[in-house]
Amino acid sequence: MLTCLILLPIPVFKNSNFPAITLPSFFMASGTRSIRKRKQPEAQYHPMPMKEEEGAVLPSDCVSDIEDFSLEETLRLRPSLLRWYDENKRTLPWRDPPKSGSEEDRAYAVWVSEVMLQQTRVVAVIDYYNRWMKRWPTLRHLSDATQEEVNEMWAGLGYYRRARFLLEGAQSLVKATEFPRTASSLREVRGIGSYTAGAIASIAFNEPVPVVDGNVIRVITRLKSISSNPKESATIKAIWKLAGQAVDPSRPGDFNQAIMELGATLCSVTNPNCSTCPLSDQCQAFALSKRSSSMKVTDYPLKVAKPKQKLQFAAVCVVKILSESDLDKIPKFLLVKRPDKGLLAGLWEFPSVLMDEEEHTDEKARRKMIDIYLKTSFNLDIEMRNSFNLVSRKDVGKYVHVFSHIRLHMNVELLIISITETSFFEGCEEKHQTWKYVDEDSLQSMGLTSGIRKVYNMTQKFKEKNIQESEHFRCQMKKKIKRKV
């Protein structure tokens, strides 16, 4: 018996509310199922590229199961979230409209705040933002600043490349004919990525485009119970798409701030307050947690192991200079400028050399490396002691400074020398690097990184401890002398 199987085409019904669409090619490539889905009459979306430092991740089979927001979902989600935001939003300085009323000034303020807020807590940013805007209230004011001035203002915020890109971007835009007003044109500016472009375009120019940061990823993965790897490029593309569908076209800037605000406050990483969340009735993760005790809202997004931090080791020498010819006798500190590219580019630090782990544990090896460096760069021959006197040289202690991808182990020493002429360093060529020596007051006000500031504070505490020990020793000696008498 011959059985014949006939495959009939399945009709696709269209109506005015749910037109069929074809997904862009990159979503097809990432593994999303080729089916016709409901199109939303709202925002554009732009996939966010993976950053190199996020590291490689294993592909996920769950990306194809991520469903779009339906029209009904977005029509419920938008007013609920915006109503909550209007009633509960935090009072933050960058949310105030500029006194000039200019859209470009508004865009500049959003730009500065969003760059500062990357990888940094809101509480820590407020004072920095206020000081920044007081000094450089407009884009043109910032474009006239120097990199060193910007670094000094940024000191302590970390991720100093952000400050450099902000200055370079401002200088390039001042030369341009007009400020970019769309997310696509903003992404052409050096240092402005998809997230910052979306924030500026939506908040300042009312363009219905999404933003995706850690807070938005957390909210959307919980709303849709997305179990795929949030670091995987296909998952990120899918979340950008969902964020674009969700954006309210009538209030895109407020909506984007609202969803970020929700993630930063109620929908937190470890302790979400689902009972007061305006979107809890639409949250799939919350629904799953109520049905099963083994499921938790905090299971989303998927926890991904962070890349292992690279270990580096350095010998740091705080060189304190006492000048016999200075009438005021104010000591100076030697500082060197880091290269213009790479980690902490263009910032000032104490003389230091990178070492391997074995050398780092050997005091003699550390001092030898520092001696070579000081002799090569500054004509400071510690062995010959040419034109200077060695007052003291002592180990201060150890300090570990943590970057996003590096753990830097520093062994700190304090080297105090006395020179007879203030012109001692003037004969040193700057062919190796840029350097200067400054007094303690200048050092206190300089824009040093938190790591270098910590090293300086270590030497100050070490000095105070030595003074106290010396005083204690002198008192003990006086008592002994009196007893003998």
pLDDT digits (tens, 9 = 90+) for 95-128: 999 989 899 999 999 999 999 999 889 999 999 9
Confidence category of residue 470, pLDDT binned at 50, 70, 90: low
Q: What is the pLDDT of residue 343?
A: 79
Q: What is the pLDDT of residue 130?
A: 97
Confidence category of residue 159, pLDDT binned at 50, 70, 90: confident
**Averaged pLDDT, 325-330:** 62
Q: What is the pLDDT of residue 424?
A: 56
Residues of the chain with CATH 1.10.340.30: 25-299
**Averaged pLDDT, 7-35:** 37
59 or 311, which is more confident = 311
Residue 446 predicted with pLDDT over 60: yes
Q: Which of 42, 73, 104, 114 is catalytic?
A: 114
Q: What is the pLDDT of residue 20?
A: 36
Residue 12 predicted with pLDDT over 70: no
Q: Which of 55-59, 328-332, 373-377 has the highest mean pLDDT?
A: 373-377
Residue 326 predicted with pLDDT over 70: no
pTM: predicted TM-score of the whole model, two decimal places: 0.77
32 φψ region: left (φ > 0), alpha (ψ -120 to 50), beta (else): beta
**Averaged pLDDT, 363-390:** 87
In contact, 388 and 380? CB cutoff 8 Å = yes
Question: Catalytic residue at 469?
Answer: no
Which segments of 257-323 are extended strands (E)?
310-323
Confidence category of residue 388, pLDDT binned at 50, 70, 90: confident
Predicted confidence (pLDDT) per residue in 48-101, tens digit: 433 333 333 333 445 667 899 999 999 999 999 999 999 999 999 999 999 898
Residues of the chain with CATH 3.90.79.10: 310-476
346 φψ region: left (φ > 0), alpha (ψ -120 to 50), beta (else): left
Burial class (CB in 10 A: 0-12, 13-18, 19+), 165: middle
What the block records as the tokens of 439 is 């007094």
Q: What is the pLDDT of residue 442?
A: 87
* 123 CB-near residues (< 8 Å, 6+ apart): none
**Averaged pLDDT, 393-407:** 90
Residue 5 predicted with pLDDT over 50: no
CA distance 193 to 197: 6
> What is the chain's mean pLDDT, rounded?
83
User: Got the DSSP string for 22-39?
Assistant: ---HHHHHTT------BP
* 448 backbone dihedrals φ, ψ, rounded to 5°: -85, 150
Instruction: Sort strands 310-323 and 406-419 into parallel, antiparallel or unpaired.
Output: parallel
CATH number for the domain running over 25-299: 1.10.340.30
> Alpha helices, DSSP H only, in 213-347?
214-223, 233-246, 252-264, 284-291
**Averaged pLDDT, 216-221:** 98
CA distance 444 to 328: 18
**Averaged pLDDT, 10-20:** 38
What CATH homologous superfamily does 310-476 map to?
Answer: Nucleoside Triphosphate Pyrophosphohydrolase (3.90.79.10)
**Averaged pLDDT, 226-238:** 95
In contact, 114 and 195? CB cutoff 8 Å = yes
Q: What is the pLDDT of residue 11?
A: 42
* 33 CB-near residues (< 8 Å, 6+ apart): 64
> Alpha helices, DSSP H only, in 30-138?
71-88, 103-117, 122-135
What the block records as the tokens of 325 is 């010819």
